Amino acid sequence: MREWWRDAVIYQIYPRSFQDDNGDGVGDLAGITRRLPHVASLGADCIWLSPIFTSPQKDMGYDVSDYTDIDPLFGTLADFDDLIATAHKLGLKVITDQVLSHTSDQHPWFKQSRLSRDNDKADWYVWADPQPDGSPPTNWHSHFGGPAWEFDPQRGQYYLHNFLAAQPDLNFHNPDVQDAILETAKFWLDRGLDGFRLDTVNYYVHDQQLRSNPPAQAKPQVMATDLYGMQDNIYNKNRPENLDFLERLRALTDQYDDIMMVGEVGDMGTRSIQLMGQYTEGTSRLHMAYSFAMLGPDFSADHFRSCIDGFQQGAPDGQPKWSFSNHDVPRHVTRWGDHAVDEMAMTRLACAMLMSFEGAVGIYNGEELGQTETELTYDELTDPPALRYWPAVKGRDGCRTPMVWEKDAPNAGFSTGTPWLPVKPLQAARAVDTQGSEDSALAFYKTAIAFRKASPALSYGTTTFHALPEPILAFTRTADSETLTCVFNLSKDDHELTVTGDAALTGPHHARLSGGTLMLPGNGFAYLSHDGDITLST
């Protein structure tokens, strides 16, 4: 029997921003539970909850201080149990964000670790002596600016942090650390959770010899907060020992029924696709992986083809998950705006593309409304990199603003209090209650998801690409007795293709087929149904 997750539509909920039911301006579990029918009505199979565990919230929950409790900001364990029960009644699986590479500096483990060099948890984090001149042990960078090392005068040593200094990295070379992490995972699986989204899954293990990274061989990508691109990051992440821990975690999940783990590979370009393949190879590692490969500015047929084909070549038995937006990057309708006829055209084109890709696919809350990036002023920011490096860096707040439910309600129905990030008119205009027409973004998402689910070819068919020049992306997917050819115009200009063979338009489309000519307007797309082979040419 085919596992549920292989072609799943996974809906990401950012808890702070989905629905606030207690009026404190921050979303909560009770609010999520109340709004789950919306997610179910889309046709989604699963929800992914961004961090909800106890945290000082220095990095919006990605700094965990207790792995086995709910942060009071979001509710209680009882609220979590209610959410699980409601989701399951609606036919939705539930996975949570597990941030395992690092903890908060307020976690009891770290508080004890920093006390001395010889206590029970002294080696639970990555500690190292200064170099003779007092400088950090290696040249590794932090993603949030400055070195990846913070000097702690209490121990007289540096500790490693790939992100904020308040997020010290765990030492996965210590088997006691691995055992403790596995116990926290077991806690949630025993509570009925259906799996995990593993944050920064390639960061768990560091080079035990603490070797400095060499300079990047490719053209460096330098941003105000992120100098990672100036190094070839071979020692601070992507270590081969990472796989050993993933196999232990998989062995735990295999003791339960229908559990799925999807890992976030924090890397870009070809390496990210290679890691996705490596991390999902066989049946003893991750069930699925995704990377930032499709979460960047690249928007070309060659880029999408190389991502999908690269994964197929590198991991023929592996399983990908593809997404265009999440809580860390600008929303794709805005990000790819230079290629769009207008925002609605990009909304539909991107949805049609995503629903045609082989593997699981992810939707970020608000994406189904055609939501755009929110423009914020400095005084409205909460994201640490933006607060530190404004205006060179706008940060991630613009994609994290609250979900909009009722256009004319206070804060568009998100909260009766003052929301933690503002709800602005441009975002409120896309509220759920404005999207009742058949030509709305929400209606299109429902139609496209339903078409994907009803189609064996789109659900589990194999993918073969057509060799067509930019800006046309085209591939054929085949399963059972169904064959579909998916064609997408990634530009604002009209394009025509010659179709040789007997084909017919099917499903949602923005194109015309007449006399063997497929006419694609700007951002047009088509699904072609055919029994025999067809060829496409410009």
Same domain, yes or no, for 426 and 511? no
CB neighbour list of residue 408: distance below 8 Å, 6 or more residues apart: none
- Is the pLDDT at 174 greater than 60? The verdict is yes
Q: Supply the residues annotated as catalytic.
A: 199, 264
- Of 451, 470, 495, at which residue does a domain stop? 451
Long-range contacts of residues 186-192, Cβ cutoff 8 Å, at least 24 apart: 186/252, 187/67, 187/68, 188/68, 188/96, 189/252, 189/253, 189/256, 189/259, 191/77, 191/80, 191/81, 191/84, 192/81, 192/84, 192/85, 192/88
Place of tokens 């989905």: 18
How many beta carbons lie within 10 A of that of residue 154, not counting itself? Answer: 8
Greater confidence, 341 or 225? 341
Measured between alpha carbons, how far is 497 from 505 in angstroms, rounded to an integer? 14
Same domain, yes or no, for 232 and 188? yes
pLDDT reported for residue 223: 59
Within a domain: residue 235?
A: yes
Q: What is the CATH number of the domain that holds 426?
A: 3.20.20.80
Tokens of 152: 């702690």
The pLDDT of 144-167, averaged and rounded, is 96
pLDDT digits (tens, 9 = 90+) for 2-53: 899 999 999 999 999 999 999 999 999 999 999 999 999 999 999 999 999 9
Measured between alpha carbons, how far is 372 from 152 in angstroms, rounded to an integer? 42
**Per DSSP, what are the bridge partners of residue 260?**
195
**Per DSSP, what are the bridge partners of residue 102?**
169
- Is the pLDDT at 224 greater than 60? The verdict is no
How many beta carbons lie within 10 A of that of residue 190, not counting itself? Answer: 9
- Is the pLDDT at 119 greater than 70? The verdict is yes
pLDDT reported for residue 271: 82
pTM for the whole thing?
Answer: 0.97
Lowest mean per-residue pLDDT among 37-41, 220-224, 287-291: 220-224
Measured between alpha carbons, how far is 67 from 286 in angstroms, rounded to an integer? 21
Quote the domain boundaries for residue 368: 9-104+174-451
Q: CA 103 → CA 64, 161, 383, distances in Å?
A: 5, 10, 18
Label residue 89 exposed, middle or buried (CB < 10 Å: 0-12, 13-18, 19+).
exposed
- Is the pLDDT at 529 greater than 60? The verdict is yes
Answer for the pair 19, 31: CB distance below 8 angstroms, yes or no: yes
Q: What is the mean pLDDT of the chain?
A: 95
Within a domain: residue 213?
A: yes
Give the residue among 32, 33, 48 at the shortest CA–CA distance from 321: 48
Q: What is the DSSP letter of 169?
A: B
Report helix, strand or coil for 309. Answer: helix
Same domain, yes or no, for 366 and 259? yes
Within a domain: residue 1?
A: no
pLDDT reported for residue 311: 86
Give the residue among 172, 181, 48, 160 at the shortest CA–CA distance from 114: 160
Q: What is the CATH number of the domain that holds 487?
A: 2.60.40.1180
- Of 435, 451, 467, at which residue does a domain stop? 451
pLDDT digits (tens, 9 = 90+) for 255-274: 999 999 999 998 877 788 88
Give the residue among 251, 248, 250 at the shortest CA–CA distance from 262: 250
pLDDT digits (tens, 9 = 90+) for 365-382: 999 999 999 999 999 999
Within a domain: residue 117?
A: no
Same domain, yes or no, for 377 and 295? yes
Same domain, yes or no, for 516 and 389? no
Say how many domains are in the chain: 2
How many beta carbons lie within 10 A of that of residue 516, not counting itself? Answer: 13
Same domain, yes or no, for 397 and 475? no
- Is the pLDDT at 317 greater than 90? The verdict is no
Answer for the pair 111, 145: CB distance below 8 angstroms, yes or no: no
Give the residue among 269, 250, 247, 271 at the shortest CA–CA distance from 261: 250
How many beta carbons lie within 10 A of that of residue 480, not counting itself? Answer: 11
Element (H, E) at 405: none
- Is the pLDDT at 112 greater than 70? The verdict is yes
Measured between alpha carbons, how far is 104 from 54 in angstroms, rounded to an integer? 10
pLDDT band at 314 (very low <50, low <70, confident <90, very high): confident
The pLDDT of 468-483, averaged and rounded, is 96
**Per DSSP, what are the bridge partners of residue 525?**
488, 510
What Rg value do the Cα atoms of the chain yield, rounded? 23
Same domain, yes or no, for 252 and 349? yes
The pLDDT of 213-229, averaged and rounded, is 74
Within a domain: residue 274?
A: yes
Measured between alpha carbons, how far is 103 from 119 in angstroms, rounded to an integer? 18
pLDDT reported for residue 221: 59
In the chain, the percentage of residues whose pLDDT exceeds 90 is 89
- Is the pLDDT at 296 greater than 60? The verdict is yes
- Of 451, 477, 499, at which residue does a domain stop? 451
Answer for the pair 372, 322: CB distance below 8 angstroms, yes or no: no
How many beta carbons lie within 10 A of that of residue 167, not counting itself? Answer: 26
pLDDT band at 225 (very low <50, low <70, confident <90, very high): low
